[in-house]
Chains A and B, each alone.
Chain A
Amino acid sequence: DSGVTQTPKHLITATGQRVTLRCSPRSGDLSVYWYQQSLDQGLQFLIQYYNGEERAKGNILERFSAQQFPDLHSELNLSSLELGDSALYFCASSGGTGGVQPQHFGDGTRLSIL
């Protein structure tokens, strides 16, 4: 158990819809990262938050947005969903912003777009 909690585990929805994925980091971790992993693709970094502030941005589409709340949990919002958005979405947390700070991953949310 990594200590990172993601909900829901599975999500099935239709094109054009909007969903929210939720992540609770490990106790004490200030950084939260979001990744997308499609079939046969590597982990694609989407965005990082540190203590409530956006820290780094990766290949995140404009239809996607995220935030980190004062209690450090984070949400990833995906809107105007397309078939290609079907993927595993992972959240990870770490204690800081750099250095030897391995990321601890949640079990992921599997998003299926019909």
Chain B
Amino acid sequence: GQNIDQPTEMTATEGAIVQINCTYQTSGFNGLFWYQQHAGEAPTFLSYNVLDGLEEKGRFSSFLSRSKGYSYLLLKELQMKDSASYLCAVRDTGGRDDKIIFGKGTRLHILP
């Protein structure tokens, strides 16, 4: 079956670093995406990993280990505007269809 797990909520302090974990089980794999979604708004693309390792993009980095079915999103120098939900999504190429499966998201609260 397909399963993507992320913590429901996390809290961090402005200026700090936070790591949001995601584990997945899919019948096929062809890439993992991270999206940011502010309440009531559209998700926006943050990062994509298809090979093992770390991808860095400014204050945000994303890591993937395919053998462990594990990824994390690292946010540095947190700002109040980073308060949002962070969605982990996997492209599952197993089965009849190739589709992107989203986790339920991690709601990140930033405290001043």
Interface residues of A (CB under 8 A from B): 2, 33, 35, 41-45, 48, 55-58, 88, 90, 97-100, 102-108
Contact = CB atoms under 8 A, between A and B. Distances in A.
B45 A42 contact: no
Given A100-B48, A102-B48, A42 B103 contact: yes
A98 B102 contact: no
Interface string B34-47: 00000011111100
Interface of B: 30-31, 33, 40-45, 48, 50, 87, 89, 91, 93, 97-105
A42 B105 CA distance: 6
A33 to B, nearest CB: 7
A34 to B, nearest CB: 12
Given A42-B104, A43-B87, A48-B99, A100 B42 contact: no
B42 A58 contact: no
B18 to A, nearest CB: 20
A106 B89 CA distance: 17
23 contacts: A2-B42, A41-B104, A42-B103, A43-B43, A43-B87, A48-B97, A55-B98, A56-B99, A57-B97, A90-B42, A98-B30, A98-B93, A98-B98, A99-B31, A99-B50, A100-B50, A102-B45, A103-B33, A104-B45, A105-B42, A106-B42, A107-B42, A108-B42
A63 to B, nearest CB: 20
Contacts of B33: 102-103
Given A102-B33, A105-B42, A56 B97 contact: yes
Contacts of B93: 98
A56 B93 CA distance: 11
